[in-house]
Amino acid sequence: MLKRMLKKDLLKNKSITIILFIFISLSSILVASGVGMISDLTNSLNALFTKSNAPDFVQMHAGEINQAKIDQWSSKNELVKNVQAVEMINIDGTKIDFGNDGLIEHSIMDNYFVKQNKTFDYLLNLDSEILQVSEGEIAVPIYYMQQNDVKLGDTIRIMDQGFEMEFIVTSFVRDVQMNPSIIHSKRFVVNGADLEKLKKNIGELEYSIEFLLTDLNKLNEFRNMYESSELPSKGPAIDYPLLRTLNAITDGLVAAIIILVSFFLKIIAILCIRYTILAAIEEDYKEIGIMKAIGIPLRTIKRIYYIKYVVLALVATIIGYVASLFLNRLFTSNMMLYLGSAPKSIFLHITPLLGVVVVFLIILVFCILTFRRFNKVSTIEAMRSGSLGEGKANRRILSIHRWRIVNVNILLGIRDVFARFKMYILLFFVFLICSFIIIVPVNFLNTVQSSSFIKYMGIERSDLRIDLQKSENMQEEFNSMGDYLSNDNDVEKFSLLVTSRFKFINNEGAIENLTIETGDFTTFPLEYLEGVPPEQDNEIALSYLNSDEMGKGIGDHLSLIVQGQEKEMVITGIYQDVTNGGRTAKAVIPYNQETVLWYEVSLDLKSQSNLSDKINEYEEAFYPAKVTDLAGYLSQTFGNTIKQLQTFTIVAIAISLLVAALITSLFLRMLVAKDSAQIAIMKSIGFSLNNIRIQYITRSLLVLTIGIILGTVVSNTLGPSMVSILLSMMGASNIEFVINPIEAYILYPFIILSVVTVTTLLSIYSINKSSIVELNAE
C-alpha cells in the first residue's frame, strides 16, 4: 500500500519532485566540491613538497661564494641535515625569444636557468616526476606556458650580442620554490652542458644556498644562526612555511571565496527544504485530512511522506556527489596544473562523501522537524477549506479606497505581502542571499582587477615601478638611476626606496630579523590601516601581520639594531601587505648596505600618453632593472588568480539565478495551492487571469526588490568584512570593494528581476485551472 501511495504521489507532483531533486543535488555538488577542493589543495601541496624534497631554508645570493666555507659551517651545525649551493644564470627576459610570442618584454620576473638538482629541491615535470633534459632541450616554467602560450616542441632562442642558443621545449617545470605568479622569479631547466655554455656567454651568475634541517621546529633558531654568520646573504631568504603559504595563496584565495558562498548556499538549502515540504503538504492538505478521518494513524501518514523524501534525498545526494567529481575539476584545474595531482588516501576520497552525508542527514532532520506540521492538521478544517492556513490576513492594510491612484491588481499584490509578511519573509531572505552571492564575488573580482589593489601589497601607487635586484654593481646602478630621473623632464616626481634586512630585539629579549624598506614615504603615500607613515629617523611602520605577531600597536616601541647600535623606534603606522609573506616594515633610516635585498623606484610622469615609450627607454637605460606600469605589475602577479575568480564568479552567478528561480517556483506553487479558493472567488467576480497574474508578479517583484536593495547594502558592508577576515591571514585585514555601479546596481539586479519574473509567469500558469464551480464541487 505504501509503495502504491508513494508512486502515486511522485507521479502527481512531478514538477515539485523534480525541482526538489535538482536542489538537493545542487546542494550536494557544492558541499562536495568545496570540501574536495580543500582536500585536494592540502593533499597536492603535501605531495609536491614531498616529491620535490623541498628545502627548509633558502638564501638567495648575488655574487661569488666560498663553497668550502659553507660546507665547513654546515658540517659543524647540528641542525643541518643537508646543504647545496645551486648555480643559477639570471637572463633578462628581453634576451629570451619564445618564437611566435616574441621576447619577454616589460616583465617583472627574474628568469633563472638551472640544471636539475642532485639531492633535494627537485624540479618536476607535469607528471610530478624528476625532470631530465638532454642537450638542446629545455623545460619551461608553467607560468610561461600559460602567460606566453608555450607548447611542447616550440623553439626558444637565447640571444645576446652575437651569442645565440636554441632549445626545444620538451617539458614544463613544476617548481616548489617559484611556482606561483606572486613569486617574481622563475626557473628554466636545461642540461648541465648547456648551462656551462650559457654561464660563459650570457647572464649573471647567482646562487641559491639551500638547507634541509634535522628539526623543522627549530627553523627560527637556524635562521638566526645563519644570518649571524658570515655566510653569503646578498639576497632574500625564504623558508619552508613561507613556501607553503605562497604555493597555497592563489588557490587558497579562491577556495576561501567558495567556502564563503557555500556557507550562504547552505542557509538557502535549509529554507528551500522547508518550502518544498510545505508546498507538498499544502497541495495534499485535504488528502491528509481524509486519511486522518478514515482512521489512518498519524505516524503512518508521516511515514508515507518521510519515505518519499528519504528516497529522494538519497538518490539526489548520490547523483550530486558523482556530479561534484566533474565540477571539482573545474575549480581545481589550475591547482592541479601548478601543484599536480597526488594519490589520495581512503580518508581523502571519503571526505567529500562525508560532506554529502552531512547534507543528507541535515535534510532528514529538517524533514522530521517540518513534518511536525502534520500535528496541526485538523480533519474538519482540512475537509472544509483544504488549507493549512497562516492566520488571517489584515485586510485593512493599504485599503483600496485610500489608494485609488494605484492599479487595483498591483495594490492587491502589495497588500498581500504586508498582510502575510511572516510567510513572505523567508522568500525575501532567500533573495537577499542570492543577491549577496552574486554581488560579493563580482565586487571582489573587480577589486583584484583594479589598480587600487596595489595598496594591499604594501606598495605605493605610481605610474611606473622600477625594480633592481641584487648584483655586484647594484649600488652604482641605483645612484645613476636617481641622477637620470632627476634630469628627465618627463618625470613629475619619483621616490628611491631600498629594502634590506635589520635585526631587532623581540619581546622576549631575543634577536630576530626584520625586512625593512627605507626611503621617503611622503612622495607616494601608502594607505594605512592605522596611523601615519614614518617621517623621523626614530619612527617605523609595520605590516599588519608583523604588528599582529609582535603584539605591537600605534605608539608602541621597537628596539632596532641600526649601524651596530640599539635604536628605540616608535611605531607610527600599520599597513596591509600580502607580499613577502606579509611581514615587512618601513622606516626613514640609513639602509643596511651589507644586507640589501633590492632597490625600487616609484615615479609619476607628467603625461601618461608616452607611458609605453618611457618603459622602453628606462628598460634600456637601467638594464637589468625591471620596469613595469601598475596594471602590468598586478596582471603578472595575480593573473592566474584573476582567471580563477572569473570562472568562479560565473559559476556563482549561475547558481544564484538557479536558486532564485527554484525558490520562486516552489514558493508560488505552494502559494497558488493555498490560495486556490481565493483565486476561484476572484475569477467568479470578474477578475481576469491577467489581473490575477499581475497580483502574483507584483508580490514576487516587491519581495525581490526589497531583497536586492538590502542584499546590495549587506554585500557592500558585510561583504568586505567577511573577505577581510579570510585574507587577514595573508596580510590584508581591511578590504574595500571596488564597485562597478552599472554591474552592481543595474545589470545584475536586472538579470535577477528578469529570471524571477519569467519564473513567476511559468509558476502561476496553473491559476487558470481554479474555478468557483470546482471549489463548490469540492
CA distances from 536 to 331, 550, 565, 569, 727 (A): 48, 22, 17, 10, 31
Q: Is 238 within a domain?
A: no
In a domain, 463, yes or no: no
- Interval 468-500: pLDDT, tens: 876 667 778 888 888 899 998 888 999 889 888
226 in the same domain as 85: yes
Does one domain contain both 699 and 644? yes
Residue 462 lies in a domain: no
Res 108 pLDDT > 50: yes
Task: Kindly state whether residues 607 and 640 are assigned to the same domain.
Answer: no
DSSP 244-307: HHHHHHHHHHHHHHHHHHHHHHHHHHHHHHHHHHHHHHHHTHHHHHHHHHTT--HHHHHHHHHH
Q: Is residue 37 part of a domain?
A: yes
For residue 417, pLDDT over 70 is answered with yes
Tell whether 199 and 321 lie within a shared domain.
Answer: no
> What's the mean per-residue pLDDT of the chain?
80
Same-domain check for residues 543 and 663: no
| Confidence tier at 83 by pLDDT (50, 70, 90) | very high
Can you tell me whether residue 621 is helix, strand or coil?
helix
- The closest of 113, 101, 124, 160 to 44, measured between CA atoms, is 124
Q: Report yes or no on whether pTM surpasses 0.75.
A: no
584 and 678 in a single domain? The answer is no
Q: CA 353, CA 314: separation in Å to the nearest integer?
A: 12
Q: Which of 462, 454, 490 is nearest to 575 (CA)?
A: 454
- Mean pLDDT score, 372-387: 53
- C-alpha span between 573 and 517 (Å, rounded): 14
**Residue 415, exposed/middle/buried by CB under 10 A (0-12, 13-18, 19+)?**
buried
On whether both 663 and 708 belong to a single domain, the answer is: yes
End position of a domain, from candidates 187, 205, 233: 233
Q: Which of 592, 623, 654 is the last residue of a domain?
A: 623
- Residue 460 lies inside a defined structural domain of this protein: no
- 357 versus 180: the higher-pLDDT residue is 357
673 with 765: CB under 8 angstroms? no
Number of domains in the chain: 4
Q: Which residue, of 591, 623, 655, is where some domain finishes?
A: 623
CB 104 within 8 A of CB 94: yes
The answer to the question of residue 241 being in a domain is no
Q: For cell 522568500, what's the residue?
A: 427
Cα-only R_g, the chain: 33
Residues 6+ apart with CB under 8 A from 758: 661
Q: What pLDDT digit, counting tens, does each position of 561-576 carry?
A: 888 888 999 999 998 8
9 and 46 within one domain: yes
661: left (phi over 0), alpha (psi -120 to 50) or beta: alpha
The pLDDT score that the predictor gives to residue 382 is 44
All three cell numbers of 565, joined, read 647600535
For 235-268, write each residue's pLDDT tens digit: 778 888 888 877 777 676 666 666 667 677 667 7
Q: Look at residue 59 and tell me if it is in a domain.
A: no
Are 414 and 479 found together in one domain? no
Per the structure, the complete domain to which residue 561 belongs is given by: 472-623
275/200 same-domain check: no
Q: Please report whether residue 251 resides in a domain.
A: yes
Rounded Cα distance, 396 and 727, in Å: 51
The span from the CA of 134 to the CA of 25, in Å, is 50
Query: Around Cβ 552, how many Cβ atoms within 10 Å?
Result: 17
Mean pLDDT of 155-168: 87
Which range, of 40-49, 160-169, 452-461, averages the lowest pLDDT?
452-461
Q: How far is CA 102 from CA 315, 434, 525, in A?
A: 54, 45, 37
Spatial separation of the C-alpha atoms in residues 763 and 668, rounded to whole Å = 6
* Helix pair 689-727, 421-449: axis angle to 10 deg: 50
Residue 203 backbone class (left: φ over 0; alpha: ψ -120 to 50; beta: rest) = left
Residues 598 and 488 in one domain: yes
Residue 551 sits in the same domain as residue 662? no
